[in-house]
Amino acid sequence: MKKRIALNLIKGSKYGECVVQPHRSDTEKEAIQRIFFVNASSPGNLGGIPRGSNPRSYNNRSPVVNKIRRTLRDRQGLCLFNGGIQVTIDVGSFEYDEEGHTISFTCEGENNGHYDGQHSMNAILDELSDPDSKLGFAEQPFKVTLVEDTFWRDTEESRSAAAAWNTRKVQEAASEQNQRGEYNDLKNHLDSKYVENIRWEENQKYKNSKEMIPKCKGIVQVSTLLAQAIPVQMDRTYTKDFARAFPRVSKKATERLWKSARTITSAIAPHANTILHLADYIQSSWGSIPDRENYRVLKKYSKSGFCTKTAAESKPYVYNKFGSRGTVDGAINHEFLSVIMQALLRHTMSFDEDTGIQKFDFSVAEIENLWDTVRGDILNVCEKLFNDLYPRSGYRMVPLLDNSSVWDRVDEVVQKAVMSNLISKLSSKAAV
C-alpha cells in the first residue's frame, strides 16, 4: 500500500485545480495541477514529501533559509513573501478530506516529490523543530502546487520548470528604495531635467517615450558622484574612505547612504543640481583637448583591447548626460569621474559643523573656469595612472581605484589650481 502524505489546509481555504494537459495519446495523458495553502504553523506531514528531481541538497545555513524563518516568525502572510513548493505526485493519488480539512497524495513514482522550493519547506520544518522558536502566528499560509506525473515526459522536463522558477529576477534594491520614497528629498531638490533623465527604478523609460533610460544614468551612479561631497563634512562614520570605496560597492553603498545617512544626504541633496551639472560639464569638456584621440583613458577598454590596440584604434568611451538624453563620445571612464569629482568638491565646498550646512565657496561659473584651467593637467595625470596601474590591476578599474595614490594625485592637482586661483584673487584685490 502506498504511503499517503497528508497536509493541513489553512483555516477557511479549499483548493483550485485545472487541467494542464488534456489526454491526447498514450504519451500525453491527462495531467491536473492543484494549488492550495497549508498552515505552515501546523502543516501536517510536510516533511514526508520526498526529494524529486531537485538536484540540490538542502543548505540549512543559507541566508535565504534564515530570511524564511524570520518571516515565518514575524510576518503574517508567509505566502505573500514566499513562492511555496512545487511537487510532482502520482497520477490519481490526490484526495481532499473536507471534514478533516486535509489534502493527501502519494509520491512513489520515479523522481516524484518536490522539484522546487525545498529550502522553503525545510526552513519551515527547522523552525517548527527548534525548541527556541517563538512562532508569532497560529495560522501562516504556505503555498503548495501539485502536478500529476503524467505531465512530464522525463526528468529533464521537470527540471526545466524548476530552472524557470529559479531564474525569477530579484528586484533591484534601488527600485525598492524609490518605491519607499527614500529618494524623495533628493528629487525635491533636483531640477526637472535631472528628475526626468535619471533612472530611479528598473526598466524606467524616458518621459513620453518607449526608450529605456540607460543603467549608467541610474541612482547608483548619481549617488556615487554625490557621495564624493562627503569628505567635505569630515563625518566620523561616512568618511573619505567611504566615498572612495563607493565605486567598488556602489549598489550596497547607495542603499546604505539613502537609508541610514539622512544627516549626510540632507546636507548634500541641495547641491545635487550643481554636482550633476559639473559632471556633464567635465565630460563635455574633453573635446577641445589637443590630440585627445591618443589618450587611452578616454577610450573604452578591455584587457584584449588594451594589449592589442593603440588609443587611436580604440572606440571612445561614451558618457550619457544626466541633464538630457545627450551623449559624449570620448569622455573619461566614469570611475575616474568620481575621482575628479571628489577632488573638485573637496576644494570648492565647505561645511559648517555648527549649522550642519554644506555650501560651495565658488560660483558655478568660477568652478567651470577653474576646471577649464586644470583639465589638461588632470587628463595627463589620469592617463599616466591608467597606463601604469590598469595592467597591474588585472585590467579592471575597481582594483585600480583601490589605490589611494590615484585619488591623491588628482587631488593634488586640483588643490594646487584652487590655491593659485585664490592667490590670484587676493593679489588683484590688493592691487585695487
Which residues in the chain show pLDDT less than 70?
27, 55, 165-170, 234-239, 422-432
- Claim to verify: residue 355 and residue 390 sit in the same structural domain: yes
Own/partner contacts of 12-18, CB < 8 Å, gap of 24 or more, are 13/37, 13/141, 14/96, 15/96, 15/103
- Say yes or no: 98 and 208 in one domain: no
Task: Report the number of distinct structural domains present in the chain.
Answer: 2
Is there a single domain that holds both residue 136 and residue 231?
A: no
Rounded to 10 degrees, the C-alpha dihedral 146/151/155/156 comes to: -110
CB-based contact 40:138 (threshold 8 Å):
no
Q: Are residues 260 and 359 in the same domain?
A: yes
* 178 and 88 share one domain: no
- Cell numbers linked to 274: 550643481
Query: Which of 128, 148, 166 is the endpoint of a domain?
Result: 166
Q: Are 329 and 186 in the same domain? A: yes
* Domain stops at, among 166, 196, 231: 166
* Residue 18 amino acid letter: C
Same domain, 236 and 309: yes
The model carries a pTM of 0.69
Are residue 368 and residue 424 in the same domain, yes or no?
A: yes
Q: Which of 132, 148, 166 is the C-terminal boundary of a domain?
A: 166
Find out whether 87 and 146 touch, Cβ atoms under 8 Å.
yes
337 closest CA partner among 234, 254, 407 = 407
Domain extent at residue 145: 5-166
Question: Rounded to an integer, what distance in angstroms lies between the CA atom of residue 259 and that of residue 287?
Answer: 38
Q: Examine the domain organization and report whether 199 and 302 are in the same domain.
A: yes
pLDDT at site 81? 92
Please, what sign has the CA dihedral across residues 341, 334, 412, 236? positive
Are 151 and 183 within one domain?
Answer: no
Answer yes or no: are the C-beta atoms of 274 and 287 closer than 8 Å: no
- Check whether residue 257 and residue 160 sit in a common domain: no
Nearest residue to 331 via CA among 410, 203, 216, 222: 216
Instruction: Looking at the structure, tell me whether residues 97 and 213 fall in a common domain.
Output: no
